[in-house]
Structure 1
Amino acid sequence: MYSKVDRTKLRPWFRYLKLFVTALAKLPVAPRQTVWRGVRKDHSAEYPPGDEVTWWAFSSCTTSLSVLESDLYLGNTGTRTLFSVETINGRTIRAHSHFVTEDEILLLPGTYFQVKSQISPAPDLHIVHLQQKIPPHVLLEPPFEGAELIPFSESDRLSRPRIKEPEELDDSRPWYTKKRILSVIAAVVALIILAIILGSVLGTQKKHTAQTTSTSTPTLTTTFSSIYYNGSAPDPVSVADAFYAFDGTTNDLYSLRNGAVAGGPVSYIQGYVPYGQAIVLNQSNTTQINIQPAFNLTTNSNFTIEGFFMLQKTQLNATLIQLAPNIMLNLVNGVLFASIGLNTSIVGTSVLSTQNWLHISFVYYATKQTATISIDGIVEATNSSVKLGISANNTNSVIIIGAGFQGYIDQLSISLIAKTQDVIQWDATIAAYYRLDFQWTLDSGPNGLNASGVDVNTIFGWRYDALNFNASDASFQANGFTALGTPQQAFSVALWVRAETRSGVFLTVANPYTCLLVLGLQNDGNKIVAYLPNATATGAGVNIVGPQMPINAWTHVAFTWSSTNFAKLYTSALLANVGVDATTLNNVRGGNNSAPMTVTLGNYSGSANCQGIQGVNVSQTFMGSLDEVFVFAREAQQGDLQQIIQTLPS
């Protein structure tokens, strides 16, 4: 359509066009994003997947599909070709256009693309997915010295060791199938394809940008959990053979093995996942939960039992769960004691603490004949070369939960598979994981802490999509971080940051009563800074200042805190600075200060006092882009961070 015309007829107009290109070159480059262009003809035959094409015209595009619904443009009927364009150097001309309400993006002549895929969701509608590439040679000379037609962070990639794009890892798959997503998300994909026909917004995949802030390659110190740092994630804990959220009921999520309370009454309080509840067993009368039918276990059966428990009494003797006769997880004087037969047991070494949520798991792997118990994702004890001691017929037995237990139970999951230790650690210590692509409000971690957003845009990110913050009130907010409200609980946050047009605060952790952490970029020098209010023994705030952040380049930033190593600030998985004075956290005061925390990206408008960050006002909103946000309920290790920045998309 654009590459097969006689351009020699334009020669008399070259000087005029140069003036036009000069003006456009002086406009700031729009963020990397998906834009749309529609034509009332079928051009699909001219764009076979895999071909490389060049558009030589000034191409007007829009960031909103709803604009194309107008009969002035593409409309909703007739033969149409819709181009979904991943662009890296478009120019935003809204401020200079007659159409002041439209986010119009103009592509320059000589824009070079690769055709990624085609779909035809209706007989008269053809959708072509184009991804802009750096051309093999200069197609459009800069109109003046210093003109930046392609952002430096993009063109600079040509001089660096080549990193495969995610789509190159498997060219046999179309662009819309390359994300590893759960089956429930696949249904959403089908809805989105249908929505194209209705003119709704279609989510698109984005390409990986080479990280540019470090010239060294750190040596890996651990690979634990690294398989889940590549954009994939384990199934949520609710994907199980039986799952008990205890949200005011003892029923199984799947209604196959509902529980019945035996003994005294039970009550419910706010749970570890605070949008739901947890069951309270106080043993004023002997109380337990009985479940039938039991599972038909054999000597070859695998299983994983995991959940969150809070003890209200020390040195407790209780049955946390009995899966079958002689197959149970107990507490003996407050220590975990697992039985997998009449004469086979696994005994822990730690007396469980009270008043804190603990993730407890019990895994049996029949193939390896190994049984393991863990606390907060850390192996407490393991036993090898053991077989399940199973009676011939155990389906008539009763699953028992909480006999003699005094405390709270939440998110109890029973799976007839043997989860690996990295999955157990993920379930125990990943408070949330936001991919920020596709359905960007979804939490891909184990707890389902979905977010909300205001005035944010999706653009090409470090891995597929990212969120762009270019308005003063732009924000992304997720509630319910119980672990971060727990006094002196180790925690970490890690994310990709792309500084663009303005420094400012890009992450805040707070509840309505107290502020825990602020991350931002200083006005002077664009240095990364982390601020912890009331973090010393005397109640002073602590600022940890890191290096200067590059403009328009993705850099990985992480902050960790623990009571043993205190505050650490990392960039590109390298330790940038340590806050040795940050010996405490603002949540240590208890009460409302220990309420579940909210993580805010962008503009913070909460009621807590977060003032004190050095070199920038807490109300000054960062304008740039963020991607791949991890929130850990533990101190992330340097090896975790190294895996995050070195693992490419799959």
Structure 2
Amino acid sequence: MIDTPGFNDTNGTEVDEYNLTLIEETRKSLPYLSGIIIVANGALPRLGVSFKNFLHLLHQVWPNDLLNKIVYQSARNATTVPLVIAFWPFDNNTLDLYGDYDGTLIGSGTYTTSFLGYGTALNLVQSASQYVSITSNHLPLNSRSFTIEAWIYLTSSTANDYGIFSQCPSTSANLCFDFMTRTNRLYCAIYTNGTQGATLMTINTWYHVACVYDMITQTQSVWLNGVLDGSSSATAYQDASGTTTIGAIYNSSSTVCFNGRIDQVRYESIAKTASEILNDATLYVYYSFDSSSLIDNGPNGINGTSFGNVTFTAGVVNEAARFSSGPYLYYTYSPFYFLGINNHPFSISLWVQPMKNYTESTLVFVHKLSGWCVHFLVINSTGSLKACLWNGGNVILSGPILPLNSWTHIGYTYSAINGIQLYINGTLYSTTGSITFSASGVPMNIILGSDKGFTYCAPGYGSSFTGTMDEFYLYSRELSASEIQTLSNP
């Protein structure tokens, strides 16, 4: 039994406890559920990213027939639908991570470096008719809400179509679903009910794309980099037997393939909310440091590696990472492509607790494998916080003196229009005004808690941090003041 205060069941009755029938067969405990959501007689409310990642783990541990007892309970409707999740990371194969909807590569597509820095992406050439066909099981899109997400990278511009995802056994009413780019814009259609995106995409750029169908409101929408780009009305897709294709729109008369790279394709049988899609597209890493772990709790699985003995202790929320003048968190690859792009917006949020005494110390250090580097967040010898950037010269924004042995929330946002905005405990402290960001031009690394001795990098000092960090977030967009305020009040 778990407490679920304030949640209404499918009959509209507020409940406090539900019997976890889901786990009777396994007798496993589910601490992630306690006080947050419920699983009850196969009903589950709408969830955020962290729990959906936990569901993915369940799928790997438990038989599919048991997992299929889990269903989402939409806050907008009393009807429950079976939860179906499929994920194709394209790490040198076309397998579904959960083993249900494995694909077959048609036309000898190749694999190339993923935008994440680890693993691979699928590279497809339209003229060679390369795509993925999923025939291992029927993927259920019919008579339900669903969300399809992917990362795409166009390598050529065209007025024609490039297929992303399709299930189209017949070009008849409600029996053909296509998700594609059309004239360099997103396009999603159930038969002739199509939704065209408003934004022109450019070549050689990674984009997060999504198509959402909401059966309750009978609307379909396309999303670009987490932002709604177009929507329209559409009747639900009806076919229950068609073949699914990735990288092609396919029907009995033609196959129109993608031209470029596709990565991290995900299907979920729910209509994701605007905030969920925005998180999937722009929350790049999130380290809670809970369970004494450097695992990424965000959508991308960019787990950290510790150098030296990073320990764990009580934090602002559950556990935090303790750095003792030497250990640090780093990566063995370069996962942060957007930090290498001129003027690309980003945001950092974290809690810090300096300890012992004030010395020059690094909180967040950004670098490429050789050459370009900046201490994004650093403390000087008097305890003053500095937020730094590079625009052909050092940009240094001063913050307050951070109190020793006390927690302070730091928010650092950047955009070319607003420049650096430094927030302390949820309140704007200082800003540079509009400035440019002269990036390296290549994917970047981040080190938390050290600069590995590169003290010559802007602003010219740094070294190891002694203290504690908690709740580290990195976004590939500029957060608003209200979003920073929310993160400062976990």
Structure 2 contact 389–437 (Cα < 8 Å) conserved: no
Q: Find out whether 1:611 has 2:468 as its counterpart.
A: no
Cα deviation 1:562-620 (Å, max 9, x = unaligned)? 22322221111222222236412322xx2xxx12x2221112217x6752326xx222x
- Pairing partner for 1:289 from 132, 139, 149: 132
Cα distance in structure 2, aligned partners of 1:237 and 1:484:
31
2:87–2:264 CA contact under 8 A, matched in 1 = yes
What is the one-letter code of the residue matched to 1:469?
F
Match of residue 484 from structure 2:
641
After superposition, give the CA deviation of every residue in 1:27-53 in whole Å (9 maximum; x if it has no partner).
Answer: xxxxxxxxxxxxxxxxxxxxxxxxxxx
The partner residue of 1:338 within 184, 188, 209 is 188
Partners of 2:343 and 2:296 in 1: how far apart?
24
Does residue 1:457 correspond to 2:457, yes or no?
A: no
Q: Is the 8 A contact 2:373 2:458 kept in 1?
A: no
* RMSD, matched Cα: 2.7
> Match of 1:438, SS?
helix
Task: Give me the whole-angstrom Cα distance separating, in 2, the residues matched to 1:644 and 1:437.
Answer: 17
Of structures 1 and 2, the larger Rg is shown by: 1
Tell me how far apart the structure 2 counterparts of residues 638 and 355 of structure 1 sit (CA, whole Å).
Answer: 32
TM-score (normalised: structure 1): 0.58
1:415 — aligned with what? 268
Structure 1: gaps spanning 5 or more residues: 1-171, 174-185, 191-226
Residue 10 of structure 2 is matched in structure 1 by none
User: 1:308-347 to 2 correspondence within 5 Å?
Assistant: 308-315=151-158, 317-325=161-169, 326-341=176-191, 343-347=192-196
User: What amino acid maps onto 1:464 in structure 2?
Assistant: N
State the alpha-carbon separation in 1 of the partners of residues 117 and 30 from structure 2: 26
Q: What residue identity is the alignment partner of 2:235?
A: K
Question: Which residue type is aligned with residue 344 of structure 1?
Answer: N
Q: Which residue of 2 aligns with 1:601?
A: 448
Structure 2 counterpart of 1:306? 149
Cα displacement (A) at 1:409 = 0.5
The 8 Å contact of residues 349 and 487 in structure 2, kept in 1 or not, is answered as no
Deviation at 1:400? 4.5
One-letter amino acid of the structure 2 residue matched with residue 485 of structure 1: G
Q: How many residues end up aligned between the 2 structures?
A: 405
1:377–1:424: 8 Å Cα contact kept in structure 2?
Answer: yes
Structure 2 unaligned spans of 5+: 1-15, 18-27, 33-46, 60-83, 170-175, 249-255
- Measure the CA separation in 2 of the matches of 1:372 and 1:452: 38
Contact 1:458/1:466 (8 A) holds in 2? yes
Deviation at 1:237, TM superposition (A): 10
Aligned to 2:241: 395
Is the Cα contact below 8 Å between 2:418 and 2:432 reproduced in 1? no
For each residue in 1:156-179, what CA deviation from the matched residue of structure 2 results, as whole angstroms up to 9, or x when unmatched? xxxxxxxxxxxxxxxx99xxxxxx
**1:507 corresponds to 2:354:** no
How far apart are 1:303 and its partner, in Å? 1.0
Give the number of the structure whose residues are more often strand, by fraction. Answer: 2
Q: 1:399 to 1:267 in 2, by over 3 A?
A: closer
Q: Give 1:294's aligned amino acid.
A: H
Alignment of 1:226-237 (within 5 A): 234-235=52-53
Instruction: Output the CA distance in 2 between the equivalents of 1:488 and 1:642.
Output: 24
Q: Is the 1:569–1:577 contact (alpha carbons within 8 Å) kept by the matching residues of 2?
A: yes
State the partner residue of 2:225.
376
User: How do 1:18-29 and structure 2 match up within 5 A?
Assistant: none
Kept in 2: contact 1:457–1:467 (CA 8 A): yes
Q: 1:380 offset after TM fit, Å?
A: 0.5
Q: Pick the structure with more helix per residue.
A: 1
The answer to whether the Cα contact below 8 Å between 1:377 and 1:425 also exists between their aligned partners in 2 is yes
Match of 2:251 in 1: none
2:286 is aligned with 1:433:
yes
Aligned counterpart, 1:498: 353
Shift of 1:405: 1.4
**3-state SS of paired residue (2:291):** coil
| Distance apart, 1:336 and its partner CA | 1.1
Change (3 A) 1:323 1:439: farther
2-structure distance, mates of 1:490, 1:541: 18
Residue 468 of structure 2 aligns to a residue whose secondary structure is strand
2:202, 2:419 → 1: CA distance?
A: 22
Deviations 1:423-462 (A, max 9, x none): 1111111110000121321110001111122222212111
Distance 1:378 1:396 in 2: 30
| Whole-Å separation in 1 of the counterparts to 2:342 and 2:401 | 32
Q: Distance in 2 between matches of 1:235 and 1:441?
A: 15
1:613 to 1:501, Cα distance in 2 relative to 1, 3 A: farther
Q: Secondary structure of the residue that 1:423 maps to in structure 2?
A: helix
- Rounded to whole Å, the distance in 2 between the matches of 1:582 and 1:236 is 40
| TM norm structure 2 | 0.76
Change (3 A) 1:517 1:582: farther
Cα displacement (A) at 1:558 = 1.4
Q: Which residue of 2 aligns with 1:169?
A: none
Once residues 237 and 285 of structure 1 are traced to their aligned partners in structure 2, the CA distance between those partners, rounded to angstroms, is 37
Cα 1:581–1:568 change in 2 (3 A) is same
**1:529 counterpart = 2:358:** no
Q: Any idea what SS the aligned residue of 1:349 has?
A: coil
- Which of 86, 92, 96 aligns to 1:242? It is 86
1:467 aligns with 2:285: no
CA contact (8 A) 2:247 2:257 kept: no
Counterpart CA distance in 2 for 1:308 and 1:277 is 12
Query: Could you tell me how far apart the structure 2 residues matched to 1:395 and 1:557 are?
Result: 52
Alignment of 1:149-228 (within 5 A): none
Deviations 1:255-283 (A, max 9, x none): 322222333x2111110222100011123
Give 1:554's aligned residue.
407
Distance (Å, rounded) in 2 between the aligned partners of 1:460 and 1:439: 10
Is the 2:418–2:434 contact (alpha carbons within 8 Å) kept by the matching residues of 1? no
Partners of 1:491 and 1:633 within 8 A in 2 = yes
Residues 363 and 493 of structure 1: is their aligned pair in 2 closer, same or farther, counting only changes over 3 Å?
Answer: same
Determine if contact 1:492/1:558 at 8 Å carries over to the other structure: yes
Q: Which amino acid aligns with 2:458?
A: G
| Cα separation, 2, equivalents of 1:243 and 1:605 | 36
Deviation string, structure 1 residues 176-223 (Cα, Å, up to 9, x no partner): xxxxxxxxxx78989xxxxxxxxxxxxxxxxxxxxxxxxxxxxxxxxx
Could you tell me which of 438, 447, 468 is aligned with 1:585? 438
Shift of 1:236: 7.3
Partner secondary structure for residue 584 of structure 1? coil
